[in-house]
Structure 1
Amino acid sequence: MTTTSRQRPAATEVDPTGAPPSRGFGLPAASALVVGSVIGTGVFALPSALAAYGPISLIAFGLVTVGALALALTFGALGRRVPGSGGPYLYARDAFGDFAGFVNAWSYWITAWAGNAAIVVAWVGYVEVFWNTSHAKSWSIIIAMVGLWLPAAVNLAGLRSIAAVQVLTTILKFVPLLFMATVGLVFVKSANFGAFNASGGSAIGAISAAGAIALFAYIGIETASVAAGRVRDPQRNVGRATVLGTLACAVVYLLGTVTVFGTVPHDTLTASSAPFTDSANAIFGGRWAGDTIAVAAIVSGLGALVGWSLIVGEISQAAARDRLFPNRFQHESRRGVPAFGIVSGTVLASVLTIVSYSSFAKVFTTVVLLSVLTAVVPYLFSAAAQLYWLVVEGRRLRAGHLVRDVAVSALALAFSFWSLAGSGYQAVYYGLFCILLGIPVYVWLKTTRHEFGETPVGPLATEVGQ
């Protein structure tokens, strides 16, 4: 048996589907893609999870926003350097080779289906405003299964169905958030905020823990880079769309969370499964306003689940096409969607949801921290890839630009490590375990395909060839 070596293909510079660039996303559409992917139901449940730490969590939210913007700028720079679809997976593979690419694809894949479990848990909380108000666990699980498999069915129906649902839900999800982030601020009362640091621990510990939870609200800022092959003038528009989308979400998130903190008493908020509904009811009295927001949150959650169910299939399909996932994942159904990836991801999200309801007291927070940890790994590799290229090719840049870019990517890298540290021991244990499970899969793929080595890439490839 001989050892073989495979040259890694160059980054894709065009839409892999062959669609003309003129039909791709412009800047407004690419920005909307970022916003639509970032805002799901997680933000509708986030104030309750952050309330356990008190208003100090707003500082954490602010720091996370700065870190998210650093990541957004980093993704923009990498998108200009490595054009094509794939995002964090593509950047890691381009800089560090197949194994790093696999780890990122595997970790991002886990983020996508584990994130769906977190989204559906928050979604259940708003469905239970109308039904299963006693929060019976068995009914909560049944509702969650409907919330996971209905979006999967929409995906399996084809891309036209996905587009129609996304347009409708993206419009509706902004209504309650914009209202709470603007008009709702008028009704804020300082007495509702409670103790500044309600965690009882150190301020640094509270900020780190709250920051890890808050990061979940920004997962998805990389989607413009993931779909860069479908964006017109990607070297210009991907970075701008990522930053603009992140800023839009940040304004709505921060001000909306302040409104909820200031309109719902702290003790009530920590126990709430639908904090924005409780806030609207507190502002107007009665139930009609809260019910309206609950309906919008339900619609928003379904839209997010439709989008992320497709992402589960897309990331596994992209890796499979590069021979880094099993071949089964790259096949498409007659409807033109990666059906095997969508179904398998939904099955895994269903299992995680059932286990979470059965084993964890704080279901949403636990699943959020797991998906945050697996998302941070691709973010960390992306920041490291940018630093790597700056070190290798920095002499080509002006000194001022080099200092600026190094500072931004170093901040993104430090932010990623900080997010890892704040995830907590339980999330790190389960997250690292899930990530390391990928190593036997990688070994199996390489050995069955007789690929026992790979040609060096980047600057090292030139040195080896000389």
Structure 2
Amino acid sequence: MSTASDGTGLGKEHLGLLAAMALVMGNMIGSGVFLLPASLAPLGWNAVAGWIVTTAGVLVLAYVLTGLTKAEPGAGSPAGFVSVAFGQMTGFFVSWIYLVSIWTAVATIAVAAVSYMSSVLPALSAAPFGPALAAIVLLWLTALINLRGLRSAGGFQIATLAIKIVPLLVVIVIAARLLFNGEAQVMPLDAVPITPGSINASATLTLWALLGFESASIVAARVRNPQVNIARATLWGTGLTGLLYLIVCSAIAMLLPMSIAAASPAPFATFVARYWNGSAAAMVTLFAVVSCVGALNGWTLLEAELSRDMAVRGLLPRWFASTDGEGTPRRALVVSTGITTLFVIMNGLRSMRGLFEYLLLLSTSATLWLYLACALAAWKLRVCRPFAALGTLYALWALWGAGIGASGMSFILMALGLPIWLWTRRET
């Protein structure tokens, strides 16, 4: 990984199409796919419909972002598009709530990793605060990797990227064998009534697994030929990941008995143990833990870099813009890790699954404010207006599906950014 500078502080290295696609898919494939089958199992075939609706909605939003990237190449990021359309203050609040969504996402991924560890070490879930304490330790270990510098964090991310695909491929192969040999007992279509409310609930849960499709747009300045490659990386990466998730999660939810899938702390391992053997399931669990840790590392890097970038652009106090000799934003990294630790502590009394689902919905609803703002910005800037209208409706529908608790809390967290905005105005 090059640390040379081109005078802008961004370095001379740029991402090509394949690297940009890897960024999109790597940020999307993390913890969500490994725990979601348990959350989706009680919804039956509503979950399959939810995956289809979510993938379609995300592709619409992805198309809007690519349209904005072509129309406003100087904006630099999704929050930049909002600033162009509605002013810097609106851009701050959108950037702020997106940063909050990353904090909650990092906490959620840590919880997911601990959930998979608990299937190997049951003592983690037996202690009253076991899952929360283990998640906090994992948060700070990942922060230490990032504190060693960008080369350390980037090397760790590359090392874990390929591993996370292995459990997905294993599930696909097992499901294909079961279906081909006629051994599969698929959940009946009428096992759970298909209703709009249930589809909405499943679509909100599945959206968590597809968060991060905007990654290429966020680093537009680092992508070679961005007006072409960002569109391809975003749309192709999102489509491929959505299809992969649909197949894998549906296979587990439809082929495992509902009671088993819903109660499992590690549904991937449970699926492999039932239809293959326990040794393979133990390996899948290890792969899943590594996948979660890899995603945790990537999002930890992103939360620190986003904080530093906001400070450079005058959207956070300049104190956060400070870096060490290797360019690592140590202050932003330590503060962000401390905040994610608080998110875990505040929900430490919930069950592991309950903690995961609450943080999932909070992170999803927080991110949806960015998606909604970008869709509205595209409409105002007259960029792909039909898709902007559809994206606006989808974002509003998803916010409603997240529930008044999560969506209301995310709005409150957005409003809590007001003192920080006033602080930054005093510095300018």
> TM tier, shorter chain?
over 0.9
**Equivalent AA in structure 1 for residue 172 of structure 2:** A
Matches of 2:397 and 2:250, distance apart in 1: 24
Q: Decide which moves more: 95-104 or 83-92.
A: 83-92
For 1:325, the equivalent position in structure 2 comes to: 316
| Residue matched to 1:252 | 244
Which residue does 1:367 correspond to in 2? 359
* 8 Å contact from structure 2 (residues 129, 349) kept in 1: no
RMSD, aligned α-carbons: 2.0
One of 162, 165, 178 as aligned partner of 1:187: 178
Conservation of the 8 A alpha-carbon contact between 1:70 and 1:408: yes
- Unaligned 5+ runs, structure 1: 1-13, 395-404, 452-466
Aligned length: 418
Q: Does 1:282 align with 2:274?
A: yes
CA drift at 1:193: 2.7
Cα 1:196–1:37, aligned 2, differ >3 Å: closer, same or farther?
A: farther
Measure how far apart 1:190 and its partner are: 6.2
How much does 1:147 deviate? Answer: 1.6
TM-aligned CA deviation for residue 203 of structure 1:
0.9
Matches of 2:373 and 2:124, distance apart in 1: 44
| Pairing 1:311-390 to 2, within 5 Å after superposition | 311-359=302-350, 362-390=354-382
Partners of 2:75 and 2:322 in 1: CA distance: 18
Q: Which amino acid aligns with 1:357?
A: G
CA distance in 1, matches of 2:36, 2:233: 24
Closer, same or farther: CA 184–205 of 1 in aligned 2, 3 Å: same
Match of 2:19 among 6, 29, 35: 29
Partners of 1:420 and 1:161 in 2: how far apart?
Answer: 37
Q: 2:63 aligns with which of 42, 64, 73?
A: 73
Q: For 1:63 and 1:135, locate their aligned partners in 2 and report how far apart those are by CA, in whole Å.
A: 34
**Overall identity of the aligned pairs, in %:** 31
| 2:304 corresponds to 1:300 | no
| Contact kept? 2:372, 2:396, Cα under 8 Å | yes
Q: Which runs of 5+ in 2 are unaligned?
A: 1-5
SS in 1 for 2:245: helix
Give deviations 1:157-206, integer Å, cap 9, x for gaps. Answer: 011111111111111001111232344233256645367574x7x71111
After superposition, residues 119-268 of structure 1 pair within 5 angstroms as: 119-133=109-123, 135-136=125-126, 137-187=128-178, 191=185, 193=187, 196=190, 198=192, 203-268=195-260
Whole-angstrom distance in 1 between the partners of 2:191 and 2:374: 33
Alpha-carbon distance, 1:95 to partner: 1.4
Per-residue deviation at 1:359? Answer: 4.5
Q: Aligned partners of 2:391 and 2:119: how far apart in 1?
A: 39
Counterparts of 2:130 and 2:406, CA distance in 1: 26
Q: Distance in 2 between matches of 1:411 and 1:15?
A: 40
Residue of structure 2 in register with 1:54 after alignment: 44
- How far did residue 293 of structure 1 move? 1.1
Q: Which residue of 2 aligns with 1:102?
A: 92
- Matched residues in 1 for 2:270 and 2:77: separation? 38
1:261-293 deviation digits (Å, cap 9, x = unpaired): 133210111111111111111111x31121111
| Offset at residue 366 of structure 1 (A) | 0.7
Determine the C-alpha separation between the residues in 2 that align with 1:422 and 1:147: 30
Please state whether the residue corresponding to 2:381 is helix, strand or coil.
helix
- The reply on whether 1:406 has 2:398 as its aligned counterpart is no
Whether the 8 Å CA contact 1:33–1:223 is kept in 2: the answer is yes
User: What does the per-residue CA deviation read over 1:97-138, in whole Å, with 9 as the maximum and x for residues that have no partner?
Assistant: 111110111011001110011111111111112113571232
Q: Deviations over 1:358-398 (max 9, x none)?
A: 146711111100000100001111111111111xxx7xxxx
Point out the more displaced range, 183-192 or 272-281: 183-192
Q: CA deviation at 1:27?
A: 0.3
SS at match of 1:358: coil
TM-score, with length taken from structure 1:
0.85
Change in 2 beyond 3 A, CA 1:382/1:168? same
Match among 70, 75, 81 for residue 91 of structure 1: 81
Please tell me the residue identity of whatever aligns with 2:419: P
SS of the aligned residue for 2:348 comes to helix
1:85 CA displacement: 7.5
* Equivalent pair of 1:148/1:346 in contact (CA under 8 Å): yes
SS of 2:324's equivalent in the other structure is coil
Q: How many Å separate the matches in 2 of 1:433 and 1:47?
A: 30
1:85–1:227 CA contact under 8 A, matched in 2: no
State which of 418, 422, 425 in structure 1 corresponds to 2:404: 425
Task: Report how far residue 84 of structure 1 moved.
Answer: 5.3
Indicate the residue corresponding to 2:3 in structure 1.
none
* Cα contact 1:86–1:315 (8 A) shared by 2: no
- TM-score after normalising by structure 2: 0.93
Paired residue secondary structure (1:147): helix
1:437 and 2:428 correspond: no
Inter-partner Cα distance in structure 2 for 1:427 and 1:211? 15
